[in-house]
A and B are shown apart, each in its own frame.
Chain A
């Protein structure tokens, strides 16, 4: 059970949530992100747009991985499916953003429902491998779809248009839309995990059998959670396609799913702002290490191993260490 959560005689005790260091850091970061475009630096604008898009994906993964204990190694599939919803529509000359969004929600929701229904029949390592295999299936499907660019991908000539509000063609507009989407997704996850639904999801992570015994159909709860996370990540995919103006199957490769897990765990899985902080650290390290050394992935990989071996709980764990010691 998460720290700060108490169960007295089966009745959830709601404590007035005191914002911990992780929450403060996360909120500060959101404020910082809102102010960043004022600097007028286009490089940082682009870097942080990408960072926030991936943060939405990480936030959605955190919902199933951090809170639900479902270790999906195929989450990038949803990012790719969402992006292809924009790309393929644009290929046929449809630039209506509402259509893109509706398609992404429908396609990702359906894909999550089908693959989730099969994957969630299994546990543990099986679940990891199966989610990975399904995402790889999507990857190979897009690689072989020659008319949508196959291996080479698709160039998107115009960004989504959200009539009557206008289009995402300005980088500043896109930046703020992504920021709002990110804030909303953090807010939605916060509401979900503190609801009755979220309690069942978290309960199923720590003791699935007990949750079933007290009468919850954990399978359906987990499936609903999986579909929800898939849809959220699909919307991140729509934004990703708009950001990069180009999509390719590369987006879906399982290595990127691994990176998403890394982002979540680096920040601290099962914490509200952990994925945001983790994504930021990951992306900035990647950006600056890769400038310093061609072989930057070597220290990166070593760091990853060290984090797992010695710094469990990620940034959130380190930030709240002092607090735990006091308690």
Chain B
């Protein structure tokens, strides 16, 4: 067993985990409070990546790029909420699926018009390009470690906001009883808008952080949204804690599965069979995990009991 490789893959798994958490937490918050299923959440991830690429190009600095892109994504989130999403809160889930599917087409095509079909790469500053040397001559890419650190910091901040602030109290109250909260005189419409924008910023931040690794491209959100769904289903709809645990599980299992399943299979079957079967099985692992969890807990690990 190569422990250095294992450590690197664990960092990669954590990195995927925190990115998934950033996307899934917004999705689960919006769903928990507004009962709103937003397929276009992944498009905000893409918009974040493109804004970051543009602003990095303009300012010449990745950090400024992110700092400018964050409010820009918030504005896009606000626009989406005010123009389309708020008309859908009272509708059934089929309507929400369809309208947000339309929204994906609109946002993807707009991105295509503005930024072109090629996609944009983002260059990292010098200090993030290097490697971190650990004892035992294990080299870790600095940028991936930075993503994990920022992601964990955001998760901690979110935990604090949800559990310790007045806003968080309103969010939790809104999730359990919307009508009561608005009867108590809280402007529930602005609360929804705010939460939607926060979710957009988180998804956008995930897109910004992945952009230097994969580059910003059209349709990049359509892949992550599915995995974010798997995360939410595993963690339990509406639960931020569930989104965190689910994201880490999915990130780890997916990454480790893709790198080590082949070795595991080679112990069990012929080399050739292992070569063919393991990539397909590795790609299916998180879905199998989801199916197993659903068999035992249909509401997810931390979901409220289903009525």
List the interface of chain A (C-beta within 8 A of B).
65, 71, 73, 115, 118, 121-126, 128-130, 132-134, 136-137, 140-141, 143-147, 253-255, 258, 261-262, 265, 269, 295, 297-298, 300-305, 307-309, 312
Contacts and interface: CB of A to CB of B under 8 A. Distances in A.
B112 interface: yes
Nearest to B84: A305
Interface stretch (B7-15, B95-103, B129-137, B165-173): B95-103
Contacts of A130: 233, 290, 294
B97 A133 contact: no
Nearest to B228: A129
Interface string B269-294: 00000001001101110011011001
A198 B50 CA distance: 49
B295 A118 contact: yes
B90 to A, nearest CB: 12
Interface of B is mostly: helix
19 contacts: A118-B294, A122-B294, A122-B298, A125-B93, A128-B37, A129-B37, A130-B294, A134-B291, A140-B283, A141-B280, A144-B279, A144-B283, A269-B94, A297-B109, A301-B109, A302-B106, A304-B102, A305-B84, A305-B103
A122 B37 CA distance: 16
B290 A133 contact: yes
Given A123-B306, A308-B91, 5 more contacts: A118-B291, A124-B93, A258-B101, A295-B112, A301-B104
B99 A146 contact: no
Q: How large is the interface on B (under 10, 10 to 19, 20 to 34, 35 or more residues)?
A: 35 or more
A144 B98 contact: no
A308 B102 contact: yes
Given A125-B93, A128-B93, A133 B31 contact: no
Nearest to A145: B280
A134 B286 CA distance: 10
A305 B106 contact: yes
B102 A146 contact: no
Contacts of B284: 137, 140-141
Contacts of B230: 129, 133
Most buried by B among A123, A130, A301: A301
Nearest to A134: B287
Contacts of B288: 137
A143 B283 contact: yes
Contact of A146 (B37, B103, B279, B290): B279
B108 A297 contact: yes
B110 A298 contact: yes
A132 B226 contact: yes
A144 to B, nearest CB: 4
A6 to B, nearest CB: 24
B138 interface: no
Interface string B102-124: 11111011101100000000000
Given A71-B97, A125-B237, A144 B102 contact: no
